[in-house]
Amino acid sequence: MVTGAARGIGAATAIRLASDGFSVAVIDLDEPSCARTVAAIQDSGGNAVGIGADVTDASTVRAAVEAVANKLGAPTGLVNNAGIVRDSLLFKMEESDWDAVISVHLRGAFLMSKAVQPHMFDAGWGRIVNISSTSALGNRGQANYAAAKAGLQGLTKSLAIELGVFGVTVNCVAPGFIDTEMTRSTAARIGKTFETYSDELVASIPVGRPGKPKDVAAAVSFFLRDEASFVSGQVLYVGGGPFT
């Protein structure tokens, strides 16, 4: 199951996992938005279904997980990628902006993880990968987003401790600047062309380029493998340079 998989990092991750041999549930807010990712997987010979679900709603999440179990089998792999941005400086940030971002990122990951847990326990095997961000280390105008992404890292480490004895690993991938629809909309919102915005950020990236969704997908792919069974509770920064 990959949440927020209609586009961007989520779509690239779903497509990569399908190429790895997984049957993939493409989860996003409404089912029609999942169609493009599902089609890309099926056109390449993979197996995928699209399911609409609001990850902030517990009953909807439970229904989505059961739908996946019925259509594809027990969901023993989960990528918590669903996210939104509501950027603003603290004195301008509305309470609704704070609540929405925390809810989608953090509550969503909690609800999804809780709902898949019984299936992983029954299988004696499970993989949960949470998508954090380098913004977890702090970023101007993103107090809500940074707090949510830092919270995901804490959730990751706590669940790794709780679930390891049941054969479940929990890890975190934290992307840096990735060329997605979301980052392009951020550039437009602050009145810059994406090229200008990208050049400014790339100037501080040691490898000298923005990341691509497939870069993040490759990191997620590693954590889903059997070979990663002794790696849990880790945060892997995918940002073109060192982060601490």
CATH number, position 34: 3.40.50.720
Which residue range(s) make up the domain with 31? 2-176+211-237
Q: Running DSSP on this structure, what letter comes out for residue 107?
A: I
Domain membership flag for residue 195:
no
Asked whether the beta carbons of 144 and 98 are under 8 A apart, the reply is yes
Tell me, what's the pLDDT at 181?
85
Tell me, what's the pLDDT at 187?
87
Domain membership flag for residue 201:
no
Which residues in the chain come in under a pLDDT of 70? none
Residues 141-168: tens digit of each pLDDT: 999 999 999 999 999 999 999 999 999 9
Distance separating alpha carbons of residues 241 and 208, to the nearest angstrom? 9
pTM: 0.96
Active site (annotated) includes residue 145: yes
Tell me, what's the pLDDT at 189?
79
Tell me, what's the pLDDT at 240?
96
Domain membership flag for residue 172:
yes
> How long is the chain?
244
Tell me, what's the pLDDT at 78?
98
Distance separating alpha carbons of residues 185 and 199, to the nearest angstrom? 16
Distance separating alpha carbons of residues 196 and 107, to the nearest angstrom? 34
Domain membership flag for residue 220:
yes
Domain membership flag for residue 194:
no
Domain membership flag for residue 12:
yes
Number of domains in the chain: 1
Tell me, what's the pLDDT at 136?
97
Domain membership flag for residue 244:
no
Q: Choosing from 98, 110, 145, 237, which is the catalytic residue? A: 145
Domain membership flag for residue 184:
no
